[in-house]
Amino acid sequence: MNVLKKVYLDGVARELLHTRRRILWNFKRKFGRVDHGIIERYVSAEEIRKLHIGCGSNIINGWLNSDLFPVSSSILHLDATEPFPFGDNEFNYVFSEHMIEHISYSQGLRMLSECYRILREHGKIRISTPDLVFLIDVYKEEKSDSQNKYIQWATDEFIKYAPYSDDTFVINNFVRDWGHQFIYDEKTLQASMAKVGFKRITRCELNESEEETLRNLENENRMPEGFLRLESFTLEGTKLSAS
C-alpha cells in the first residue's frame, strides 16, 4: 500500500511540475505571440520553405528551426504531436533528426500526416532515427571494433550503474533513456510514411541525398566519430498527387 501511495504521489508531483513549466513557458513565449512572429517573418522571407522539426541545438540556416522547448526565442515552439500551425501545401521540405523516436508510434503517424499535409506537391521529407537493427546487431556475439567502442562509450557516458561494459546494459538503456518511446526499423518507418501518403520512399546514407537541399543536415558532431552513423538510418519520401 505504501508503495502504491508513493507512486501516486510521485505522479501528482510530476504533473504539477509539468503544469508549472507550461505556465512559465507560456509567459516566456508571450502566449504564442513570439511563435506567430517567427512564422510570419520566415514565410515572408523564404519562397522555398523548409521546416526542421526537433532541432535542439542543431540550427540550420535557411530552415524554420523548431523544437518542443526551444533553446532560444529565435526558434519556433512546435509540439509535433499536435496539429501544425501552418496551412496546407506551405513547405517544400521537412527534416527531422532523432526526434520521432521520442513520441509514441501513433503520435509519430500523426506527425508524418501533418508533414504530408503542409508539404507542397513534389515536396520532400527526410527522417533520421535510431535503427532497431543496430540494437539487434550490437547484441550479436561477433561484434565489430566500432560496436565494441560504442558499447564502452555508451556505458561510460550514460550507464553509471552498470557493473561492467556490456551489450545488455546498453540496449536496455537505449530503449528507455532520453525519453525514447518507439524505436523504428526501416520497414516500420517506411510503412508509416506510405500510410500517410508519401511515395518514392528511399533509404539514404547519413548526410547524403540525391536532393542537394537535403544533404549535410544530420549533426554527426554531437557524438564521437562514426557513432551517429552506426546507430541511425534515414528515409526520404515525396508528396505526389493521387493521379
Write out the DSSP string of 44-104.
HH-SS-EEEES-TT---TTSEEEESS-SSTTSEE--TTS--SS-TT-EEEEEEES-GGGS-
Q: How far apart are alpha carbons 159 and 171 in whole angstroms?
A: 11
Strand, helix or coil for residue 177 = helix
pLDDT at 206 over 90: yes
pLDDT at 92 over 70: yes
> What's the mean pLDDT when you consider all of the chain?
92
Q: How far apart are alpha carbons 171 and 154 in whole angstroms?
A: 10
- Average pLDDT value for residue range 95-116: 98
- Average pLDDT value for residue range 4-19: 63
The share of the chain scoring above pLDDT 70, in percent, equals: 88
pLDDT at 235 over 60: yes
pTM for this entry: 0.89
pLDDT score at 27: 63
CATH assignment, 33-238 = 3.40.50.150
Domain map (residue ranges) of the chain = 1-32, 33-238
pLDDT score at 119: 98
Place of cell 550514460: 158
pLDDT at 14 over 80: no
pLDDT score at 19: 72
184: cell is 523504428
Cα four-point dihedral sign 171, 177, 180, 182: positive
pLDDT tier at 111 (50, 70, 90 boundaries)?
Answer: very high
pLDDT tier at 203 (50, 70, 90 boundaries)?
Answer: very high
Nearest C-alpha neighbor of 125 from the set 231, 234, 206, 208 = 234
- Average pLDDT value for residue range 175-193: 97
Establish how many alpha carbons lie within 13 A of residue 239's alpha carbon, considering only the half-sphere containing its beta carbon. Answer: 23
Q: How far apart are alpha carbons 108 and 81 in whole angstroms?
A: 7
26-35, 146-155, 200-209, 227-236: which has the minimum mean pLDDT?
26-35
Q: How far apart are alpha carbons 235 and 190 in whole angstroms?
A: 7
What count of other Cβ atoms lies within 10 Å of the Cβ of residue 95? 27
19-23, 129-133, 160-164, 232-236: which has the minimum mean pLDDT?
19-23
Q: How far is CA 94 from CA 55, 112, 120, 160, 242, in A?
A: 12, 10, 11, 37, 20
